[in-house]
Amino acid sequence: MDSLDRSIGFRVISADGYIGTVEEIVYGAENTLGALVVATRLATEPLVLVRVEDVLGCFEHSGCLILSPSWRSNAVEMQDVAQLVV
């Protein structure tokens, strides 16, 4: 899924429908793609960190990502991430 490297601004959807848009790409060890920061429509979770492993498809021609049905159980709210870093 090489186009994940260029997925900022892509729409993110799952079986539940529209989730949000990719705001940032997070790289891990050895500059490998690790996760995506997704801006959601939810007031309770405005930003979530989604593992790359939960991306089922990336369609550059339509600017869309499809997540696995279990993406939410693996996602981390960005507020939680900020508390871990501080």
In angstroms, the CA 53 to CA 56 distance is 8
Mean pLDDT of successive 10-residue stretches along the chain, which has 86 residues? 84 92 89 89 78 93 93 75 45
Number of folded domains that form the chain:
1
Q: Is 75 exposed, middle or buried (0-12, 13-18, 19+ CB in 10 A)?
A: buried
Which domain, by its residues, includes 66? 2-85
Q: What is the pLDDT of residues 21-38, one digit of tens each?
A: 999 999 888 888 889 999
pTM for the full model? 0.81
| Domain containing residue 80: CATH number | 2.30.30.240
